[in-house]
Structure 1
Amino acid sequence: MNILLLGSGGREHALAVALAASPRCDELYIAPGNGGTAAVGENVLLDAEDPAAVADFARETGCGLVVIGPEAPLVVGVADAVRAVGIPCFGPGAEGAQVEGSKKFSKELMERAGVPTAAYASFTDEAAALAYVRDQGAPLVVKADGLAAGKGVVVATELSQAEDAVRACFDGAFGKAGATVVIEEMMTGPECSLLAFTDGETVRPMCTSQDHKRALEGDRGPNTGGMGAYAPVPIVTDEEHAAMVDALEKTVAQLHAEGIDYRGCLYGGFMLTPAGPKVLEFNARFGDPETQVVIPRLENDLVEVMLAVAEGRLSEVELRWSDRWAVTVVLTSAGYPGSYEKGKVITGVEDAEAMDDVTVYHAGTALTDAGELVTSGGRVLDVTALGDTFEAARDRAYAACEKIQFEGKTLRHDIGLRALRGRAAWDE
């Protein structure tokens, strides 16, 4: 069958590689794709956030499956439009995508479902929000309610930071996304991601993974879209894993009970608190860069799994996972997540991929008319390695990183170090 994949990042390249490897896949279209996806499919110029345009393209090219990578097309209802023309789609409709598109909706859903999460309050009035912040005191987490390209969350360790974050939201720093503000207690503990495939009734959890959000080593500096990840997470106990799965199952059951048909990936971001796992956030799609370490460990045919999700028959599928470890290190442009230059020539990708068990996923790359690979984003490449041990995978990923060069190449050198040192490392 022909397949259409929406998105342009490292997540989409990882999905594209897995989809293209399936014997079920004939033509793979990626809209808009990047410099890496062009090697496994056809990059196409298509507005991924235009529901009618996506549905028309899928129908005209005879696609039997549409896979939606990023959150923005989900929130505007692309999945609804695709299903309306009779094409199976992996990704929730606009109603279900509110689990990510509105933090207020997500928190209220968790309350109704009985899912553990941080205490919170939401506001549409600046004065009321500031009064609440002053009453609660720091530390607090201030979140713009809507999608803000990963920039609408401030972890405020001081009262002034929380006040500034509230003012920024209501002053329009995040547009309509900041018209409602959610203020949460700050939880403590290691973070862990647990993603699941779901067709709205059956839930099939993937393997645990852990992202590194801060730009600088030692988990310092500003939040980013992710500087690296690994899977699985060795510090998670059986009891914690069961609690996270339970939270995902309760959430899907609640959505179903409320008449919301959720088909796709449900991403649970958890904090492993002393009182047990609590949900930090839900996303309505695969994580980035978690996908780059989760999907390489999946032994099932990804097309088969996604079709089962889209067609409401996930109960027929049992997931199979490799027992190998996966580590990805993100190479970024100098200055990221702030301003950065584009168009820097990239070399050494082929040398890195010539190594055993190494795959380089493209996140922010483009091909020039002359065929040169150049940087086109803040997060440029995800260098992913598999290994029989955590240490082997990690060492292989960093060795591969050394083979890749571009002006301003930046990376963290401590991805996964805490996990190697055990649970106590998070208390240091």
Structure 2
Amino acid sequence: MKILVLGSGAREHAIVSALAREDTAHEIVAAPGNAGIAQVATVVHLDPNNAVVVADYALAEDVDLVVIGPEAPLVAGVADGLRTRGVPVFGPSKKAAALEGSKAFAKRIMEEAGVPTGRATRAGTRAEVEAALDSFGAPYVVKADGLAAGKGVLVTEDRAAALAHADHYLQQGTVLLEEFLAGQEVSLFFLSDGSTVLPLSPAQDYKRLLDGDEGPNTGGMGAYSPLPWLPDGFVDEVIDTIAEPTVRQLANEQTPFIGLLYCGLILTEKGIRVIEFNARFGDPETQVVLPRLETPLSGLLLAAATGSLGGIPRPTFSDDVAVTVVLASEGYPDAPQTGRRIDGLDDAAAVEGVSIAHAATSRSESPDGGTIATGGRVLSVVGRGSDFRQARERAYEAVSRIRLEGAQYRTDIAARVVAE
């Protein structure tokens, strides 16, 4: 197949890499891509958020399947522009992508579908925020209603900080105040063709910047998969109580969800609860889930895009484990320093069991070439092994070989699961 992958991050690099390693050779194109993606796919410079431009390109170049990676093109309706012109696309419509684009919409869908989640109140004024904070009590959970690049959620014991966070996002619209849920968090992806769902392997990510879950929220500083501590029957329970009811509810509202349903879950004392839905592969969880995938990814994505997931067996995964450590620029997440050179990538990739997914990189225009950092989260360094200790050691050995001035990363990714 000729496959166009939209996006420029480590998630898209992981998707491209999974497609490229299949036994069947595909022609893979990425837009706009990055320095790492350019090593395994053709990179074209077009605006992934412009539905007309993307559809024109896909038709002119006889693209068989378009895979939308980030949330912004989904919320912009790029999938709609492709579908109306007959191009198979993996990614939900603009209306269905509101499951991620609007926390309030997601809460309504969960309520209608009977999906277990925490109590929430929508607020549009400072007074409403204050009343909700007092009602729920500490720890306070404040969420931006719209997209916020993974940084719109604040969980804090500090009421003043909660109010400041709400004030910031009230300038853009409404906010959600939610009850605090305690427990282990789980990310579980589902492929959906609008009626059938198929699960991928669970993962856990680390949102806070610093070790010990300290510091500000980020887009994700690391992840691991699988989760050996999950109870038996966990995935089936999520299918029965969360994924299928959600997809059915959207279908009943004439808003079929076609693409990747990301379930952000938490295991509380009262059972599984939904923290949030996303409408695309998660980052950095994709970097540890897809390397373990044994079923060809291209067939799964095309089946979802064409409404033919029914009857397809559940995807299978390697018994290996994977750990990814995100290398971020100095100043991330508030004011990342960009334009700095990255060295040691070949040495890092030479570590056994290691692969590197580029997140925000480009080729330097200087005479000696090289790779430079262009954003906050720069690289996802993935270690695979027969157990968590080996995978983790490989990932951190590779990280130690990479040189980026001011780079920061967590040192405790998967440390707990190794200790246990």
Q: TM-score range by the shorter chain?
A: over 0.9
Shift of 1:395: 1.0
Matched, 1:101 2:101: yes
Match of 1:367 among 314, 339, 363: 363
Using the alignment, how far apart are the partners of 1:259 and 1:20 within structure 2?
35
Using the alignment, how far apart are the partners of 1:131 and 1:72 within structure 2?
32
Indicate if the aligned counterparts of 1:134 and 1:159 stay in contact, CA closer than 8 A.
no
Indicate if the aligned counterparts of 1:2 and 1:25 stay in contact, CA closer than 8 A.
no
Shift of 1:80: 0.7
Using the alignment, how far apart are the partners of 1:151 and 1:400 within structure 2?
27
Counterpart mapping for 1:252-291 below 5 A = 252-291=247-286
Taking structure 1 as the reference length, the TM-score comes to 0.94
Indicate if the aligned counterparts of 2:199 and 2:235 stay in contact, CA closer than 8 A.
no
Indicate if the aligned counterparts of 1:13 and 1:361 stay in contact, CA closer than 8 A.
yes
Indicate if the aligned counterparts of 2:15 and 2:290 stay in contact, CA closer than 8 A.
yes
The letter of the residue matching 1:251 is: T
Using the alignment, how far apart are the partners of 1:132 and 1:297 within structure 2?
43
Indicate if the aligned counterparts of 1:92 and 1:264 stay in contact, CA closer than 8 A.
yes
Using the alignment, how far apart are the partners of 1:351 and 1:132 within structure 2?
52
Indicate if the aligned counterparts of 1:3 and 1:25 stay in contact, CA closer than 8 A.
no
Per-residue displacement from partner, 1:8-39 (whole Å, max 9, x unpaired)? 11000001111223355543221111110001
Per-residue displacement from partner, 1:244-276 (whole Å, max 9, x unpaired)? 232112211211222212111100001111111
Matched, 1:323 2:300: no
Using the alignment, how far apart are the partners of 1:311 and 1:128 within structure 2?
44
Using the alignment, how far apart are the partners of 1:114 and 1:72 within structure 2?
28
Counterpart mapping for 1:229-268 below 5 A = 229-246=223-240, 247-268=242-263
Shift of 1:347: 1.5
Using the alignment, how far apart are the partners of 1:126 and 1:30 within structure 2?
43
Report which stretch shifted further, 287-296 or 365-374.
Answer: 365-374
The letter of the residue matching 2:355 is: T
The letter of the residue matching 1:250 is: P
Matched, 1:349 2:345: yes
Shift of 1:134: 2.7
Match of 1:333 among 304, 310, 329: 329
Indicate if the aligned counterparts of 1:263 and 1:310 stay in contact, CA closer than 8 A.
yes
Report which stretch shifted further, 116-125 or 106-115.
Answer: 116-125
Structure 1 residue aligned with 2:209: 215
Match of 1:303 among 298, 321, 326: 298
Per-residue displacement from partner, 1:167-226 (whole Å, max 9, x unpaired)? 2222x2xx3xxx111110011011110111111111111111000111000110001111
Using the alignment, how far apart are the partners of 1:331 and 1:236 within structure 2?
28
Indicate if the aligned counterparts of 2:351 and 2:397 stay in contact, CA closer than 8 A.
no
Matched, 1:168 2:168: yes
Per-residue displacement from partner, 1:128-158 (whole Å, max 9, x unpaired)? 2322223333222111111122222111313
Matched, 1:39 2:28: no
Residue 64 of structure 2 aligns to a residue in which SS? strand
- What RMSD, in angstroms, separates the aligned Cα atoms of the two structures? 1.4
Using the alignment, how far apart are the partners of 2:215 and 2:192 within structure 1?
35
Tell me the percent identity: 48
Counterpart mapping for 1:191-210 below 5 A = 191-210=185-204
Using the alignment, how far apart are the partners of 1:181 and 1:401 within structure 2?
38
Count of paired positions: 416
The letter of the residue matching 2:70 is: P
Structure 2 residue aligned with 1:122: 122
Shift of 1:125: 3.0
Structure 2 residue aligned with 1:426: none
The letter of the residue matching 1:197 is: L
Using the alignment, how far apart are the partners of 1:239 and 1:27 within structure 2?
38
Matched, 1:224 2:218: yes
Indicate if the aligned counterparts of 2:211 and 2:412 stay in contact, CA closer than 8 A.
yes
Using the alignment, how far apart are the partners of 1:189 and 1:421 within structure 2?
18
Using the alignment, how far apart are the partners of 1:159 and 1:404 within structure 2?
40
Report which stretch shifted further, 238-247 or 366-375.
Answer: 238-247
Shift of 1:297: 0.6
Using the alignment, how far apart are the partners of 1:166 and 1:407 within structure 2?
34
Report which stretch shifted further, 249-258 or 212-221.
Answer: 249-258
Structure 2 residue aligned with 1:188: 182
Residue 323 of structure 1 aligns to a residue in which SS? coil
Report which stretch shifted further, 98-107 or 384-393.
Answer: 384-393
Structure 1 residue aligned with 2:288: 293
Using the alignment, how far apart are the partners of 1:136 and 1:328 within structure 2?
35
Indicate if the aligned counterparts of 1:270 and 1:281 stay in contact, CA closer than 8 A.
yes
Structure 2 residue aligned with 1:420: 418
